[in-house]
């Protein structure tokens, strides 16, 4: 069956995954086993494109297509950023229990931190927020113990490496500075694991409180709904949603402009070289002899510069090499064995000589003892 070509079409796996039927792998298995139908036709391709008007069924039961949801949650302290059940712990899913759609977060926060989190069921939208190439700014209010050293923080803001992990530059503003504690506002375009805490720990400060104020244009201070309190959730406005999708369009346009500028720049360079270099401008005035000399000179250069081609090795040569290597190893082993056998023979000879000498000594001493006994017996008699 031919795939449908439409910009608004979505892959079949994604539709089933968003319905909350199963994991991605199990959804693919269900499609390939023939359990999924699109417009009462069995589809076996997980990458098949489905329109919004198409009807999708699992085991002949229609799926209710989920609408895209874009929401902002103010995560309170002590809540874990996960959708999995953790016994004895509070998790994010408790704040959107009444929502039918299968939601997930875009950019996590530690359980010790609080602030704005984007909740959605659109993977493309989540990728725009989390991927550092889109440079979505996140603003944090950080409270630190002690009096902050602005010079140290300025040096760290240029970019810093801690335990072989590089952290990109960031902007900061010191809101308050005191002996007991200081408050700083940071703006960062990436969100590595416990990034802010590690930076301040490296500088010699302990983070007392960390609050994420905004993600892009989404802030806890909203003109229409007011301040978003801890544990509350709200839908994003059209302007806020469009802001994030515009960032993707800007990135694509920037890439196109870069390639266009590079091609123009290269053309200008070539024209300048031809105009400035006399060798190209005086080509018509050269004689045939000069051209031949130049060709010879170029050939000699290339001959020196070119590496030698490796000769192809035949099977016979490979077998011959293998045999010679085996024979060499055998010879070396035999030499070692012969040397060891020679040493053993000499050792045996020396050992036998020693034994014979010791026997002679013992025999002589025994004879002397017997003679002495006879002499003593004669004297007694």
The residues that are catalytic are 110
Rounded-to-integer distance, Cα 141 and Cα 133, Å? 23
Rounded-to-integer distance, Cα 196 and Cα 110, Å? 11
In this structure, what token pair is assigned to residue 242?
A: 């469009």
Residue 117's contacts (CB-CB under 8 Å, 6 or more residues apart) are 72, 73, 74, 75, 81, 92, 105, 106, 107, 108, 109, 212, 215
Q: Where are the alpha helices (DSSP H) in 96-237?
A: 123-130, 150-157, 195-203
Residue 123's contacts (CB-CB under 8 Å, 6 or more residues apart) are 14
Give Cα separations from 127 to 14, 46, 105, 261, 273 (angstroms): 15, 21, 11, 28, 45
Residue 362's contacts (CB-CB under 8 Å, 6 or more residues apart) are none
In this structure, what token pair is assigned to residue 100?
A: 């039918």
Straight-line distance from the first to the last Cα atom of the chain, in angstroms, rounded to the nearest whole number: 133
Rounded-to-integer distance, Cα 343 and Cα 360, Å? 26
Query: Is 1 exposed, middle or buried (CB count within 10 Å of its CB: 0-12, 13-18, 19+)?
Result: exposed
Rounded-to-integer distance, Cα 240 and Cα 90, Å? 29
**Residue corresponding to tokens 């950023």:** 81
Give Cα separations from 20 to 15, 86, 125 (angstroms): 9, 20, 19
Q: Where are the alpha helices (DSSP H) in the chain?
A: 12-18, 24-32, 123-130, 150-157, 195-203, 238-276, 278-281, 288-305, 315-380
């Amino acid at each position: 069956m031919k795939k449908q070509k439409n910009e608004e079409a979505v892959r079949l796996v994604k539709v089933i995954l968003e319905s909350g039927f199963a994991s991605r792998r199990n959804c693919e298995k269900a499609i390939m086993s023939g359990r999924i139908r699109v417009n009462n036709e069995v589809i076996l391709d997980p990458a098949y494109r489905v329109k919004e008007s198409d009807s999708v069924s699992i085991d002949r039961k229609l799926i209710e297509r989920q609408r895209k949801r874009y929401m902002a949650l103010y995560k309170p302290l002590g809540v874990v950023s996960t959708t999995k059940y953790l016994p004895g712990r509070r998790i994010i899913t408790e704040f959107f229990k009444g929502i039918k759609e299968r939601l997930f977060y875009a950019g996590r926060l530690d359980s010790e931190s609080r602030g704005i989190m984007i909740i959605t069921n659109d993977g493309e939208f989540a990728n725009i927020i989390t991927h550092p190439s889109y440079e979505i700014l996140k603003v944090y209010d950080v409270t630190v113990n002690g009096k902050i050293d602005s010079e140290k923080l300025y040096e760290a803001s240029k970019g810093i490496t801690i335990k072989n992990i590089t952290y990109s530059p960031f902007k900061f503003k010191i809101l308050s500075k005191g002996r007991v504690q200081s408050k700083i506002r940071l703006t960062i375009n990436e969100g590595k694991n416990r990034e802010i805490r590690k930076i301040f720990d490296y500088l010699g400060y302990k983070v007392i409180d960390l609050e994420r104020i905004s993600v892009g244009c989404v802030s806890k201070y909203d003109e229409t709904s007011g301040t978003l309190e801890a544990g509350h959730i709200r839908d994003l406005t059209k302007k806020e949603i469009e802001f994030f999708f515009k960032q993707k369009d800007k990135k694509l346009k920037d890439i196109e402009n870069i390639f266009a500028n590079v091609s123009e720049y290269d053309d200008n360079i070539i024209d300048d070289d031809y105009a400035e270099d006399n060798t190209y401008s005086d080509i018509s005035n050269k004689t045939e002899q000069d051209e031949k000399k130049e060709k010879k000179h170029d050939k000699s250069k290339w001959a020196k510069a070119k590496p030698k081609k490796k000769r192809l090795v035949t099977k016979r040569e490979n077998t011959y090499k293998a045999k010679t290597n085996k024979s060499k190893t055998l010879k070396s082993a035999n030499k070692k064995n012969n040397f060891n056998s020679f040493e053993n023979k000499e050792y045996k000879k020396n050992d036998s000589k020693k034994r014979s000498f010791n026997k002679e000594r013992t025999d002589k001493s025994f004879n002397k003892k017997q003679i002495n006994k006879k002499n003593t017996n004669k004297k007694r008699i």
